[in-house]
Structures are given as C-alpha cells and as structure tokens.
Structure 1
Amino acid sequence: MPYLGLVTVVVRDYDEAIAFYVNVLGFSLLEDTRIDDRKRWVVVAPPGARESAVLLARAVTGGQEARIGDQTGGRVGWFLNTEAFERDYERMRAAGVVFEEIPRQEPYGTVAVFKDLYGNRWDLIQLVRNSDVGEAGDVR
C-alpha cells in the first residue's frame, strides 16, 4: 500500500532549520546529504515516526522565498501528534516554541497552535482515543 513518505517545508537556511526542528521540536535528523554546492537532502522526523517525515528544502527562487513561513496561506498545515500533550507542550514552551494560544479541548482531542521558526502554523495535538468517543462522536 502506498503511504505518505515526505512533506516539504521550505526553509531559509538548512542549518538554522535543522537546529530548530532537532533542538527545539525534538525531531531526529534522519538524513543530511550534500547534493551539490548549494543543495542538500535534509530529512527530519518526530521521534518514533515510522512512515512520514519532513524534507527541509532551502528556497532558491524568489517565488520559493516568498512562501517561507506562509506555505498554507495562514492555515495550520502540519499536525504534530503526541500521546503526552502536557509533557510535550511544556517541553516545547521551555525550548522557546511560540504558541498562539493556550491548550484547548476539542471533541477530537487536546490541541494548541504553534509556529515554527519561520511562522508556519502547526497543531500540537493529542487525539482522543476511540474508546473515549461515543457512537455519535461525543467525548465520554
């Protein structure tokens, strides 16, 4: 079966992006391969990720540079799932992650929107387990 392997985040600089995703968000650096004098293949992923990862792609054109920090037109574009929301929320805040809001409860789980170093919007989210959701989708 096919699966989603990589999603791209356009970045200004490889090393500053690696530092943020690895040192601040706690992702693992899976690959950093130099392609040529200007291009690298840089892949990071949250700990424990099995299939999907993030390709950090340095902008090389004016059009790409214009997208840095606003790749989804202001919408949340990425969803960082956790099974320990409070732990990860506090760790990320202590590391300097900027959250736009305090955590909130939604029918699907606990969520708070944060920004990466460029301003892209992400959800930190702990989904409600299926056993916690009733037949009509109401949280028990």
Structure 2
Amino acid sequence: MIRIHLASVFVDDQAKALDFYTRVLGLEPRQDIDMGDGNRWLTVGNPGAPGVELLLEPSAHPAVGPFRDALVGDGIPATQLAVDDLDAEHERLTGLGVTFVQPPMDFGPVAVAVIDDTVGNLIQLAQLKG
C-alpha cells in the first residue's frame, strides 16, 4: 500500500516559515534536523495527530524562484490546508495580520480562501462541507 507521508513547500526563510506555520496557523513542529550550510530538515504537522508532515524546504535551488513566481503570479496555491470553519479562521487570521489574497468563497460542497504565507507561497484554506 502506498500512503502520503510527506509533502513540501519551498520557503525563503525557514525560521520565519516555522513561526508562521506554528504560531500563526497552529500546526506543530515535528522534525528539526541541521542539514549543514544553514539548512534544516524542518517539518510541521497536525497538532496531536501523527502522520503526514509538511516539509518547509529551503528555496535556494535556481528553478524554485521562477516556478513560484509563476504560481503566485497566476494565483495558484502551493498547497491546501483543511479547516473546520473557514469564516472563523478568516476572522482569527485577519486579526493576526495574515494577508488573504482571496477572501472566503463558497463553492457548494467546499469553501476556500487563499493566504500569503509570508515566505513566498500562496496557501489555500479549504472547508469541506457535509
């Protein structure tokens, strides 16, 4: 059986990303391993729920910049995170100064919004209904 274990987003600053994804979004730190040259194997995950982790990967590779610039320019999120109540998260995150590049929108079975993660990515928040 194949299972998803790890997904990643490229980040401009791993320390800033860790702060945003944990303190602001509420994920918990999982792994933090020094990889040398100032890089870390740095992951976060769902609080209290072992399993899939998100790798906050350094964006130093030359292909990352043009790729991310194209995604952001077209409004395409790098990944999607689930929320239980999108309106409540919108209010909470707005209060913390998070920039919403797309406010909450209702599409029937799902409501979505898109935020700027402050380290180079757009991240979609999604509330599955029903």
State TM-score, norm by structure 2.
0.81
Larger Rg: 1
Mapping for residues 26-65 of structure 1, pairs under 5 Å: 26-65=26-65
Q: Does residue 5 of structure 1 match 2:5? A: yes
8 Å contact kept, 1:5–1:51 = yes
More strand by share: 2
Mapping for residues 14-33 of structure 1, pairs under 5 Å: 14-33=14-33
Q: Which runs of 5+ in 2 are unaligned?
A: none
1:87–1:49 CA distance, 2 compared to 1 (3 A): farther
SS of the equivalent of 1:102 reads strand
8 Å contact kept, 2:11–2:121 = no
Q: Which runs of 5+ in 1 are unaligned?
A: 130-140
Distance (whole Å) between structure 2 residues aligned to residue 92 and residue 15 of structure 1 = 19
1:84–1:72 CA distance, 2 compared to 1 (3 A): same
Deviation at 1:7, TM superposition (A): 1.2
State TM-score, norm by structure 1.
0.76
Structure with more contact order per residue of length (Cα contacts < 8 Å, sep ≥ 6): 2
Mapping for residues 88-107 of structure 1, pairs under 5 Å: 88-107=89-108
Q: RMSD between aligned alpha carbons? A: 2.3
Partner residue of 2:85?
Answer: 84
8 Å contact kept, 2:16–2:119 = no
Aligned residues: 129
The AA in structure 2 aligned to 1:59 is S
